[in-house]
Amino acid sequence: MNEVSVPRRTIATAAELSGVGLHTGATTRVSIHPGAADQGIVFRRTDLDGRPEVPARVSEVEATERRTAIGHGETTIHTVEHLLAAVMALDLDDLLIELDGPEPPILDGSFAPYFDVLEAAGVRAHEGEPTAFTVTEPFALTEGDATYVVSPLDGLRLTTTIEWNHPLIGRQTGSWDITAATFRGQLARARTFGFTHEVEALRSRGLLKGGSTDSAVVLSETEVVGTTLRWPDEFVRHKAGDILGDLALVGGRIKAHVIANRPSHQGNVALARMIARTAERTGGRHLDINRILQVIPHRYPFIMVDRILELEPRRRVVGIKNVTINEPFFQGHFPGHPVMPGVLIIESMAQAGGMLLMDELQSPENKVVYFMSLDNVKFRRPVLPGDQLRSEVEMIQFRGRTCRMKGIAYVDGQVVAEAEMLARVMDR
Considering only CA atoms, which of 8, 13, 33 is closest in space to residue 121?
A: 13
Q: Say which residues have a Cβ less than 8 Å from residue 196's Cβ, sequence separation at least 6.
A: 218, 219, 220, 221, 225
Residue 239 and residue 148: Cα distance in Å, rounded?
Answer: 13
Q: Say which residues have a Cβ less than 8 Å from residue 400's Cβ, sequence separation at least 6.
A: none
User: Is 265 a catalytic site residue?
Assistant: yes
Residue 329 and residue 340: Cα distance in Å, rounded?
Answer: 8
Q: Say which residues have a Cβ less than 8 Å from residue 97's Cβ, sequence separation at least 6.
A: 30, 31, 32, 33, 41, 42, 43, 44, 83
User: Is 78 a catalytic site residue?
Assistant: no
Residue 43 and residue 56: Cα distance in Å, rounded?
Answer: 7
Residue 325 and residue 342: Cα distance in Å, rounded?
Answer: 16
Q: Which of 72, 298, 333, 337 is catalytic?
A: 333
Greatest Cα pair distance in the chain: 73
| Letter string b/e over residues 402-418, b meaning 16 or more CB atoms within 10 A of that residue's CB | ebbbbbbbbbeeeebbb
Q: How far is CA 163 from CA 160, 168, 169, 196, 240, in A?
A: 10, 11, 7, 18, 13
Residue 77 and residue 253: Cα distance in Å, rounded?
Answer: 22
List the strands of the sheet with 367-379, edge to edge. Answer: 307-312, 316-322, 388-399, 402-411, 414-427, 367-379
Number of H helices and number of E strands within the chain? 8, 26
Q: Which of 265, 286, 298, 337 is catalytic?
A: 265
Contact 81, 75 (CB under 8 A): no
Contact 29, 19 (CB under 8 A): no
Residue 209 and residue 354: Cα distance in Å, rounded?
Answer: 43
Residue 232 and residue 409: Cα distance in Å, rounded?
Answer: 46
Q: Give the dihedral of Cα atoms 33, 39, 43, 46; nearest 10 deg.
A: -70
Kind and range of the H or E run holding 123 = strand 123-126
Q: Which residues are catalytic?
A: 265, 333
